[in-house]
Structure 1
């Protein structure tokens, strides 16, 4: 039975599970909760992001669309709690909660990987319709340096993308993600 989102129990259990998963996944797979936590730590410690985002206010949800052949049977909503250059947390949240963020960016896992690997940038992908944005585009453009640096931070640590997994690893990734989603209602 899942713990109820929005409770102290959910938060405590989430942090405990992420700590345990990080021990066994030193090179986290995108978009797992341990990947999100490492990403958040990188963003929060990045002086360039902090300077560029000093006037940014509001959470950003990154929705990675389902791609069952890679073990993503459902969309995954990764929420970054960003405020004045700080990254207060990065968590996988229930889609209903994640959709409440002031900014929601939705794209395929392939598009997000291209952004992370520097093959395109998030603003360009948004303009081309590869990433759909819900929120104030003018504010995103005003903070283009922060947006670009946020995307750059995904490449500052070692991670594995689902398309880099073997078939057996995809099965395990799918099972692990399913178990996590069921436990936390995400």
Structure 2
């Protein structure tokens, strides 16, 4: 018999994270496009980001209907958070074009994220943006595929902290850190140290 789950955060009721999820306002509109394989992942960090930001939404799929309409949301400049040679480094909002960003964030493994771009040419055609300096990931349960790899919620927090400084969005990481601590406790510290410890 499956354990009862919280409808909002999708965690088992005895591990509900809702009390830790903030409700933060941002000028930036964040749209998380989640590959369907990520929805059942125990650490669904895109969902945590969407729940913690007032001006955010989470869409799940491989081919996204209504993408053109979404990208033309009045008052925003659409960009794709995706590293690469042509990606522009994010900087704080300042003079010039004062429209805030519509920050599109693909959620999935690198392979799945690239597939989302391939299946949605409108996404691939967007200007790409990236982080200049990446704070090391706190995601201690996954071996990062390469230095600078972050979980989705960490990438969103770091992007918003750059764009909207001096505002700080670190409160979004509270449920994420609680999740990780809970997973480590569940697997046992010895198992964690053996599999994920430095060494």
- TM-score normalised by length of structure 2: 0.30
Structure (1/2) with the larger helix percentage: 1
Compare CA radii of gyration and give the structure with the larger one: 2
